[in-house]
A and B are shown apart, each in its own frame.
Chain A
Amino acid sequence: GNSVTQMEGPVTLSEEAFLTINCTYTATGYPSLFWYVQYPGEGLQLLLKATKADDKGSNKGFEATYRKETTSFHLEKGSVQVSDSAVYFCALREGANNLFFGTGTRLTVIP
Chain B
Amino acid sequence: ETGVTQSPTHLIKTRGQQVTLRCSSQSGHNTVSWYQQALGQGPQFIFQYYREEENGRGNFPPRFSGLQFPNYSSELNVNALELDDSALYLCASSTGTSNLDTQYFGPGTRLTVL
User: A residues bordering B, Cβ < 8 Å?
Assistant: 4, 6, 31-32, 34, 36, 42-46, 49, 51, 89, 91, 93-104
Instruction: Give the residues in chain B near A49, CB-CB below 8 Å.
Output: 102
How near does chain A come to B60, taking the closest CB pair, in angstroms?
12
Contact A43 B56 (CB under 8 A): no
How near does chain A come to B9, taking the closest CB pair, in angstroms?
10
Interface string of B49-67 (1 = CB under 8 A from A): 0000001101000000000
Q: Which residue of B lies closest to A106 (CB)?
A: B40
Q: Considering the chains assembled together, what is the distance between the CA atoms of A45 and B55 in angstroms? A: 23
B97 sits at the interface (CB 8 A): yes
Given known A-B contacts A99-B43, A101-B42, A104-B41, A43 and B106 have beta carbons under 8 A apart = yes
B33 sits at the interface (CB 8 A): yes
Q: Considering the chains assembled together, what is the distance between the CA atoms of A34 and B111 in angstroms? A: 26
Q: Which of A31, A89, A98, A101 contacts B56 (CB 8 A)?
A: A98
Contact A32 B42 (CB under 8 A): no
Q: Considering the chains assembled together, what is the distance between the CA atoms of A37 and B44 in angstroms? A: 16
Q: Which of B33, B43, B106, B107 contacts A101 (CB 8 A)?
A: B43
Contact A43 B100 (CB under 8 A): no
Contact A43 B107 (CB under 8 A): yes
Contact A43 B99 (CB under 8 A): no
Instruction: Give the residues in chain B near A93, CB-CB below 8 Å.
Output: 99, 103
Contact A89 B42 (CB under 8 A): yes
Instruction: Give the residues in chain B near A101, CB-CB below 8 Å.
Output: 42-44
Interface string of B71-93 (1 = CB under 8 A from A): 00000000000000000101010
